Amino acid sequence: MKSKVSFFRCEICGNIVELIKNGGGELVCCGQPMVKLEANTTEAAYEKHIPVVTKKDNQIHVDVSSVPHPMTEAHFIEWVVVVTDDTVERIALSPNDEPKIVTCDKDDVEVYAYCNLHGLWKADI
């Protein structure tokens, strides 16, 4: 069974958390409920954000969009999460990094990418 992932963001300080197990309680930060991030799956922003996921040489290759995403201090992909049946892998990126990752090949993969300006994006293969 594929791991279920959910991400929440504090509207005050910008903290982002990944929910590992949902115990039914409310996530609170800075005295306010955190907002669940809903992943975009269709292109709606000028810059491309939807991860492009390919499999080759027994690896999963992720390019954040078909057009390279900016990776400047002001606008960049902060992290990529790859979800499979038995793993959740998060790769942190920094400004000036290339918005690409390579990980082990698995079946039934979901990939999330988080842009500091445009939020959460998702692709499935």
Predicted pLDDT of residue 125:
84
CATH number, domain of 46, equals: 2.60.40.730
Rounded Cα distance between 116 and 88, Å, is 21
Residue 119 lies in a domain: yes
Query: Is the residue at 108 inside a domain?
Result: yes
Closest C-alpha to 49, from 35, 61, 63: 63
List all residues 6 or more positions away from 71 whose beta carbon is below 8 Å from its beta carbon. 77, 93, 94, 95, 96, 97, 98, 99
Residues of the domain holding 86 = 39-124
Residue 85 lies in a domain: yes
Q: Count how many Cα atoms sit within 13 Å of the Cα of residue 72 in the half-sphere of its side chain.
A: 4
The answer to whether 104 is annotated as binding is no
23 domain residue, yes or no: no
- Please tell me whether 49 is known to bind a ligand: yes
Q: Which pLDDT does position 117 carry in this prediction?
A: 93
Domains: count for the chain: 1
50-81 tens-digit pLDDT: 999 999 988 999 999 888 899 999 999 999 99
> Is residue 109 in some structural domain?
yes
- On the question of pLDDT at 3 being above 70, the answer is no
Please check whether residue 101 lies inside any domain of the structure.
yes
Flag whether pLDDT at 1 surpasses 90: no
pLDDT band at 108 (very low <50, low <70, confident <90, very high): confident
Residue 46 has pLDDT above 60, yes or no: no
* 10 annotated to bind ligand: yes
Confidence of residue 93 (pLDDT cuts 50, 70, 90): very high
